[in-house]
A and B are shown apart, each in its own frame.
Chain A
């Protein structure tokens, strides 16, 4: 490697590849960001209608955001926000408890049917969710949960009832915590419940935050089932159903810009939560208790 010629040509080669790589990355970054930039631009767009002819709007306004909060007769955005927030909090609490309970029972306790349960969970997850969606709807309807003010309850049930099969990440994390901790606790006279609440749960904190945020985000981004349950009861719409409705034929002309505004408004908190979740996940993966 001491030959000057070779180092020189290597340097030139490296410079060329540096330029090529940075150019490609820059082009890709632009492609990746364009839809998001465009969304933000549209949310401030002054012209009405959904027929966009220029990338950068001709005039800018805040009216699209104002409209979301003032014109609440046809599409009630604040109401949808409150609905979704309530549903997200409830289903997040229930499903976090379910996931923690199942993960602890599968990871730390040994009982008959344990493997059976895990195999059953795997089989259930293989059925496409949409297959049972109609059946869930019929079942909820037979229970009288698809009418009036029972709709939020039906949505909460839908978002949290299946949490018992979503244990893989949490159980995998608990599996890495040494059993010696449990044994030490039980030698000191702790019951298994105390081992669960006082030893294991505190150790799982980053993973619990990850789980809480994941299940909190579910109702914000899922709209198929919510749309099916709510049907025409617009006062129970969640944000995602509402935004989807804004792009339907009869609303799109009036609501196109406000769709962008609404999308920006909910994307900001969701992105922040998502980044927090990523950090927790990485912290959990890097900082698990070493045996």
Chain B
């Protein structure tokens, strides 16, 4: 890796007010600010700023003392007390004593940890703010007033103002749920064995169950993974290949009413996918319009098992995905097709190449070259293509005793495992494995795309 050897260019000078400098070079007041946040600011007459830091610390300490410490403390055991019926002498009746709820314990524990991390970030800001105040004073520079600070938030520090609201929302509603879901993979939180209220850490047991090909879950995992990759491969390459051909047919010099053909194909993109897919599912039902017409026409004797036979269902899904995907490909490649250097086509026609040869030797290699990053994105998109499976076959047909149907992808199986079957630990493991598959595919390619390597190339 030549990149690693090259000396890393620093985008920024090292921060003179870093935590390390503050704690080693700071005076007593600065050091005390690490205990009482905002002290340094208060001592230097930045009253509002100091009070804000102090308030944050008080709120955090109050939260930790009242519930936070307990929430983190319960994490290792995840609670032990089951809900019990206890005889109450005074009332002369049995009453329920609510026991521990491991799911809530895990949730509150994760939330307490996230809050603590957020607090540490603010604490570092408070300490370096105190040190900055000390340094400014020592250098005789005037300290920024509160109004100036607010103004700076819309100028030099605008990035903070802009990034904080989206980032906080992201932390609360995306990162925290992920941090809460990942530990579930290491527990036995599942309807199986009645572990929905109280569950425990089991380490890597669930991971082993999932990858063990001789177990029930393991066998399904490998077959679902195999189908997911097969599906993603066919869905991506067939759509690309056939879509390119159709786009070329529309783009030919002598093809008439080009915009009419394009409009027809883009109609299907404009209609919400769940509507068109539900309509198609209705058409292909055992007693749906297609089967009825086929039987009436005498082509088949009994209903074709479009979504009830595994092979049929898998083929149907790939074919129907062409209906969904080809218009997208047409949209994407039309512009690229017009950019293929014309001299190559001229040279080919002088050499007497026919249309098929031109397609395989000039057009296709060029398209593959230009579209490669795009195809990887659509490959990962197809691995996660929930809608088409859920709306068409709902993962079916499902064999007796299996939790995954024969057309289930990892994501739809994940959905079934968590929402329908409540086997959260297995669901979490599947989620992590899906992440690993996607990460491998993307890491290889994303880092090789121009937009990541050279984002300022346009300027």
**Cα–Cα distance between A240 and B12 once the two chains are bound (Å):** 49
A164 → B minimal CB distance (Å): 3
A77 → B minimal CB distance (Å): 14
Known: A21-B249, A124-B174, A164-B169. A271 touches B289 (CB 8 A): no
B326 → A minimal CB distance (Å): 8
The verdict on B431 contacting chain A, using a C-beta distance below 8 Å, is yes
Q: Which residue of B lies closest to A33 (CB)?
A: B264
The verdict on B58 contacting chain A, using a C-beta distance below 8 Å, is no
**Cα–Cα distance between A101 and B427 once the two chains are bound (Å):** 34
The verdict on B323 contacting chain A, using a C-beta distance below 8 Å, is yes
Known: A21-B252, A51-B287, A164-B166. A131 touches B428 (CB 8 A): yes
**Segment at the A interface, from B45-53, B124-132, B214-222, B266-274:** B266-274
Contact indicator B264/A224 (Cβ below 8 Å): no
Note all chain B residues with C-beta closer than 8 A to A102.
162-163, 166
Contact indicator A221/B166 (Cβ below 8 Å): no
Contact indicator A224/B390 (Cβ below 8 Å): yes
Residues 125-168 of chain A: 1 if any B CB is under 8 Å from the residue's CB, otherwise 0? Answer: 01111111111101100100000000000000110111111000
Known: A109-B158, A128-B431. A117 touches B249 (CB 8 A): no
A261-276 CB contacts (< 8 Å) to partner B: 263, 266-267, 270-271, 274-275
Q: Which of B174, B177, B249, B280 contacts A165 (CB 8 A)?
A: B174
The verdict on B384 contacting chain A, using a C-beta distance below 8 Å, is yes
**Segment at the B interface, from A58-66, A67-75, A174-182:** A174-182
**Cα–Cα distance between A244 and B180 once the two chains are bound (Å):** 30
Known: A105-B162, A131-B427, A176-B458. A32 touches B410 (CB 8 A): no
Note all chain A residues with C-beta closer than 8 A to B264.
29, 32-33
Q: Which of B166, B177, B278, B390 contacts A135 (CB 8 A)?
A: B177
The verdict on B255 contacting chain A, using a C-beta distance below 8 Å, is yes
Q: Which of B293, B327, B384, B432 contacts A55 (CB 8 A)?
A: B293
B371-402 CB contacts (< 8 Å) to partner A: 380, 384, 386, 390
Q: Which of B107, B154, B246 contacts A28 (CB 8 A)?
A: B246
**Cα–Cα distance between A165 and B173 once the two chains are bound (Å):** 12
- Chain A interface, DSSP helix/strand/loop, else mixed: helix
A169 → B minimal CB distance (Å): 11
Note all chain A residues with C-beta closer than 8 A to B254.
14, 18
- Chain B interface, DSSP helix/strand/loop, else mixed: helix
Residues 246-286 of chain B: 1 if any A CB is under 8 Å from the residue's CB, otherwise 0? Answer: 10011010111000010011111111111110111011000
**Cα–Cα distance between A31 and B290 once the two chains are bound (Å):** 13
Contact indicator A122/B170 (Cβ below 8 Å): no
Contact indicator A291/B458 (Cβ below 8 Å): yes
The verdict on A191 contacting chain B, using a C-beta distance below 8 Å, is yes
Q: Which of A123, A139, A175 contacts B177 (CB 8 A)?
A: A139
Residues 422-444 of chain B: 1 if any A CB is under 8 Å from the residue's CB, otherwise 0? Answer: 00100110111011001100100
B120-174 CB contacts (< 8 Å) to partner A: 151, 154-156, 158-163, 165-167, 169-170, 172-174
Q: Which residue of B lies closest to A167 (CB)?
A: B166
**Segment at the A interface, from B79-87, B361-369, B413-421:** B413-421
A204 → B minimal CB distance (Å): 14
Q: Which of A39, A132, A164, A256 contacts B178 (CB 8 A)?
A: A132
**Cα–Cα distance between A53 and B283 once the two chains are bound (Å):** 10
The verdict on B343 contacting chain A, using a C-beta distance below 8 Å, is no
The verdict on A199 contacting chain B, using a C-beta distance below 8 Å, is no
Note all chain B residues with C-beta closer than 8 A to A256.
282
Residues 28-40 of chain B: 1 if any A CB is under 8 Å from the residue's CB, otherwise 0? Answer: 0000000000000
Note all chain B residues with C-beta closer than 8 A to A54.
289
Q: Which residue of B lies closest to A51 (CB)?
A: B287
Q: Which residue of A lies closest to B287 (CB)?
A: A51
Contact indicator B288/A105 (Cβ below 8 Å): no
The verdict on B355 contacting chain A, using a C-beta distance below 8 Å, is yes
Known: A32-B267, A138-B107. A228 touches B419 (CB 8 A): yes
Known: A21-B252, A157-B173, A164-B167. A274 touches B158 (CB 8 A): no
Note all chain A residues with C-beta closer than 8 A to B272.
220-221, 240, 266-267, 270
Contact indicator B267/A128 (Cβ below 8 Å): no
The verdict on A98 contacting chain B, using a C-beta distance below 8 Å, is yes
Known: A139-B180, A223-B274. A31 touches B323 (CB 8 A): yes
A210 → B minimal CB distance (Å): 14
Note all chain A residues with C-beta closer than 8 A to B430.
131
Q: Which residue of A lies closest to B179 (CB)?
A: A135
Note all chain B residues with C-beta closer than 8 A to A193.
154-155, 158, 161
The verdict on B44 contacting chain A, using a C-beta distance below 8 Å, is no
**Cα–Cα distance between A161 and B166 once the two chains are bound (Å):** 7
Q: Which residue of A lies closest to B441 (CB)?
A: A126
Contact indicator B154/A128 (Cβ below 8 Å): no
The verdict on B42 contacting chain A, using a C-beta distance below 8 Å, is no
Contact indicator A22/B255 (Cβ below 8 Å): yes
Residues 94-126 of chain A: 1 if any B CB is under 8 Å from the residue's CB, otherwise 0? Answer: 000110011011000111101001000011101
Residues 213-228 of chain A: 1 if any B CB is under 8 Å from the residue's CB, otherwise 0? Answer: 0000000110110001
Q: A132-B178, A178-B459, A244-B278 are in contact. List 19 more A-B contacts (CB 8 A).
A: A21-B255, A35-B323, A50-B282, A98-B169, A101-B162, A105-B159, A112-B12, A131-B430, A131-B434, A134-B418, A139-B172, A240-B274, A243-B274, A259-B278, A260-B279, A263-B275, A263-B278, A267-B271, A270-B271
Can you list 11 A-B contacts with CB-CB less than 8 angstroms, sorted by A residue number?
A25-B246, A29-B264, A32-B327, A39-B275, A126-B442, A127-B435, A130-B415, A132-B180, A193-B155, A223-B274, A271-B270
